[in-house]
Amino acid sequence: MITIALAEDHHVVRQGFKLVLAAEQDFKLVGEAADGLEAVKLVEEKKPAIMLLDLMIPRLHGLEVVRQLRRDHPQTKVIILSMHADEPYVMEALRNGACGYVLKDCTAVDLVQAVRTVAGGRRYLSPALAERALTGYVEHPGASDLDVYETLTNRERLVFQLAAEGKTSAEIAAALFISPRTAETHRANLMRKLSLRSQTDLVRFAIRRGIIAA
């Protein structure tokens, strides 16, 4: 016998899932919840083997519910029910401790399969997701490869070049046919972008980049 709790705020959807689960002899629905807080309480009380959890449940986001359940009730395995087939959601759910991720537009067979697989101690993803080599997805985008110098606008780059050559704002303004105030603004902006504090910093940066000769 596999004990199951179902957390889903959408009434019609909940009825649909119950219908699917009821058809299986060895499934036992032990409780239902209509929001995230209820879902957590339900697990505390009933300690089901499986929690079928809607990702977009109100009051406490599904992702947060998984995080809490994994921390406080690791014996209950969570299967996410979601309308989102997008990888970032799937990855985020798995990272937070979900054992399965089932698309709501799955087939009935799919849902039943998910419950059995996860109850058996393995992970489960809807076929549509599993096919899409999830591993190819880059982990949370935190990798940094942007050189801030690249983000200077063309104008700022010209001003940078002239400033590195030791030109004053007035000379820069004259060279670029802009007002001294505008030149000053460009200069201040690019210094800020590049985190340069002084003219010396600026020249050193320019030399390091080969923008001017040492």
Partner 1 sequence: MLMVSAGDPIVVMMSHPAKILMVDDNSMVLFAMGHLLRSEGFTVLEAKDGAECLVQARAEQPDLVLLDVMLPDINGVELCRKIKTSPETSHLFVVLLSSIETSPDSQITGLEAGADGYITRPIENRELVARVQAMLRIRLAETALRKAHDDLERRVAGRTEELSRANGALKALSLRMVDVQEAERRFLARELHDEIGQTVTCLKLVLEISLRPENPAQQQSFDEALGLINDLIERVRQLSINLRPQMLDDLGLMTALDWHLKRYQKQTGIAVQFRHTPMPERLEPGLETAIFRIVQEALTNVARHARVKEVTVRVWANAGRAGVQIEEAGAGFDVASVLARRASSGVAGMKERAELLGGEFTLESTPGHGTCLTVELPISENESTSVEAGGGI
Q: In terms of CB distance, is 45 or 179 closer to partner 1?
A: 179
Q: End-to-end alpha-carbon separation of the chain, Å? A: 77
Pairwise CA distance, residues 195 & 141, whole Å: 23
Pairwise CA distance, residues 201 & 99, whole Å: 52
Q: In terms of CB distance, is 49 or 93 closer to partner 1?
A: 93
Nearest distance from C-beta of residue 15 to partner 1, angstroms:
8
Alpha helices (H) in the chain, listed in sequence order: 11-22, 36-46, 62-72, 87-95, 108-119, 127-130, 154-164, 169-176, 180-193, 199-208
Nearest distance from C-beta of residue 137 to partner 1, angstroms:
9
Query: Which residue, 156, 214, 210, is CA-closest to 183?
Result: 156
Q: In terms of CB distance, is 72 or 86 closer to partner 1?
A: 86
Residue 205, φ and ψ in degrees, nearest 5:
-60, -45
Nearest distance from C-beta of residue 186 to partner 1, angstroms:
10
Q: Which residue, chain included where needed, has tokens 């058809």?
A: 23
Q: In terms of CB distance, is 130 or 148 closer to partner 1?
A: 148
Q: In terms of CB distance, is 13 or 178 closer to partner 1?
A: 13
The per-residue DSSP string of 88-137 comes to HHHHHHHHTT-SEEEETTS-HHHHHHHHHHHHTT--EE-HHHHTS-GGGS
Nearest distance from C-beta of residue 34 to partner 1, angstroms:
13
Q: In terms of CB distance, is 158 or 212 closer to partner 1?
A: 158
Nearest distance from C-beta of residue 121 to partner 1, angstroms:
26
Nearest distance from C-beta of residue 156 to partner 1, angstroms:
9
Q: Which residue, chain included where needed, has tokens 């505390």?
A: 44
Residues that bind partner 1 (CB under 8 A): 10, 12-13, 15-17, 19-20, 23, 56, 61, 63-64, 83-84, 86-89, 92, 104-105, 107-108, 138, 140-142, 144-146, 148, 150-151, 153-155, 189, 192-193, 195
